[in-house]
Amino acid sequence: MVSDNPVLIIKWLSMRKINSYTFITLNGFYKGANEDISWHRHGGEESEHATQGLAGQGILLFGRKTYEMMSSYWPTPAATEAAPEIAKGMNSAEKIVFTRTLKKASWNNTRIISDNVVEEITKLKKNGSKDMTVLGSGSILTLFAENNLIDEYQFMIDPVVLGEGSTVLKNLTKKLDLKLTNSKVYKSGVILVCYQPMQ
């Protein structure tokens, strides 16, 4: 529960939400060795979920590594041919990348936040109407989870196990109690699960 106070409830409902969307392996990796994500099954059904998410015209949030990977693919003709609706949504969406090393963001509609990340994103969450979605971006997701900024966690679990890689929510220092709000099983064996924090 957020609160029993009606005023606080109204304020909470008026705040924009921050959701996360991460595809992971059965053993909890969101990327394999050398940033590999080729194991993820980008099928028709799974892609439909991404298309629906982008249709909301929210703001996409990235860490630097995820941003560089996404920006090197989605603006290309290959991406438009393979997934035209997703490419359109990704390229037109407002984007924020959190980085201290990138000085310029070449992908259109992107701005950089370099310092005071938690403070800046908290301000954005309190003001405005567009929801925000963290795509992948392991260190940013962990940082936001630590500071209770995530309103919903969406995990797309692939039926694959990797021998090495990076685990989701690595280095989280506290327990997250979550409640299941939605789930879906795809023909490919991929499972989508959605959780909200119990706080």
Q: Whole-angstrom Cα distance, residue 137 to residue 62?
A: 6
72 residue type, one letter: S
The CATH code of domain 17-27+43-197 reads 3.40.430.10
Using alpha carbons, list the distances in angstroms from residue 65 to 81, 99, 154, 164: 24, 9, 20, 18
User: Structural domain boundaries of the chain?
Assistant: 17-27+43-197
Query: What average pLDDT values come out for the chain (199 residues) when binned by 10 residues?
Result: 39 68 93 88 68 69 91 92 87 92 90 93 85 89 95 94 93 94 91 91
Q: Which of 24, 48, 38 is nearest to 169 (CA)?
A: 24
Instruction: Report the residue count for the chain.
Output: 199
> 23 forms bridges with which residues in the sheet?
156
pLDDT digits (tens, 9 = 90+) for 16-35: 899 999 999 999 999 999 88
The whole-model pTM stands at 0.84
The b/e string for 58-97 (b: 16+ C-beta within 10 A; e otherwise) is bbbbbbbbbbbbbbeebeeeebeeebeebbebbbebebbb
* pLDDT for residue 130: 85
pLDDT digit string, tens, across residues 136-169? 888 999 999 999 999 999 999 999 999 999 999 9
The answer to whether residues 167 and 133 touch, using CB atoms and an 8 Å cutoff, is: no
pLDDT at 83: 82
What are the helix and strand counts (H, E) for the chain?
7, 10
Count of CB atoms within 10 A of residue 168's CB?
Answer: 22
Answer yes or no: are the C-beta atoms of 18 and 132 closer than 8 Å. yes
DSSP 108-130: TTEEEE-S-HHHHHHHHHHS-S-
Q: 58 with 129: CB under 8 angstroms?
A: no
Position 68 scores a pLDDT of: 92
